[in-house]
Amino acid sequence: MYSKTIISGLLLSVTFSVNTWAHDHETKTLAQIVSSDFRQDKNISRDKYRHPLETLTFFNIKPSDTVIELWPGGGWYAEVLAPYLAQEGQYVAGNFDTKPEDETLRQGYRATKGRLFEAWLKEHSAHVGKASTVTFDPPTHYALGSDASVDTVLTFRNLHNWAMKGFLEPVFESTFNVLKPGGIFGIVEHRAKPGMTAKTGYMDEAKVIALAEKVGFTLVAKSDVNANSKDTKDYPKGVWSLPPRLVLEEVDKSKYLAIGESDRMTLKFVKNIQ
């Protein structure tokens, strides 16, 4: 027979363990996620340019949402979004094709980057829950999932890549199709001066809005949370002259560091309710 003291101790231990598990797995606020030690220091250091808390609040991301992020790259925003959605929602990355048939492409930048991202999700499953990927790699893979199945689609600094290849309109169409009626399409992109081309890495805000509206979206709000008045947008290597790329390396490095990251449009569209 166990003594009352031992039984009480066992019950206390079990209760403590259950309460600890519940605390560790409860849905955290966006502010808690942004300030958590799960995020890498190198990513946190860019918050002053990218404002993740303010940006995601502007897009009205809720912890119960299903959210697709197009081309997450190295996972800067995934590090915030995936844990935030882990308990009640679903994070889905529109990721590069990791296994293209062409062997050259399989060893290339995009496929390699995509595999690294998939490995990151697997390694951090305790934090990101059931986060998953869907192959989204224009021009061969546009479909993002079943029609009207997603609450929000987000893209950060990617539009110029698709525009340079002539893929932007079908990307917007795929986004429109996968969103539920009333769903949000959130865009952050380097903002051009009139007359600049996508080859500079900057995009004309008015043209982005016009294209989204052509596809069927309605612009509901703009934010200057990611604006940067220091960005003169007249650099030898376009937006990539600025941090974090600094492609000119030591040439005028102090100048570009003083400017900081680019001036960015932040746009929130809604899929019209039919």
Q: Where are the domains of the chain?
A: 29-228+263-271
The predicted pLDDT at position 197 comes to: 96
Task: Return d(Cα 160, Cα 212) in angstroms, integer.
Answer: 14
Both tokens assigned to 113: 């980057």
Task: Return d(Cα 99, Cα 242) in angstroms, integer.
Answer: 32
Half-sphere CA count of 73, side-chain side, radius 13 A = 10
Peptide bond into 139 cis (omega under 30): yes
Return the beta strands (E) in the chain as ranges: 66-70, 90-95, 132-135, 150-156, 179-190, 217-223, 264-271
Task: Return d(Cα 65, Cα 89) in angstroms, integer.
Answer: 5
Three-class SS state of 138: coil
**Helices and strands: H and E segment counts in the chain:** 13, 7
Q: Which CATH superfamily is domain 29-228+263-271 in?
A: Vaccinia Virus protein VP39 (3.40.50.150)
pLDDT in tens, the chain (274 residues): 444 444 444 444 433 333 333 344 567 899 999 999 999 999 999 999 999 999 999 999 999 999 999 999 999 999 999 999 999 999 999 999 999 988 888 899 999 999 999 999 999 999 999 999 999 999 999 999 999 999 999 999 999 999 999 999 999 999 999 999 999 999 999 999 999 999 999 999 999 999 999 999 999 999 999 999 999 999 999 999 999 999 999 999 999 999 999 999 999 999 987 5
Q: Are 246 and 258 in contact (CB under 8 A)?
A: no
The pTM assigned to this predicted structure is 0.89
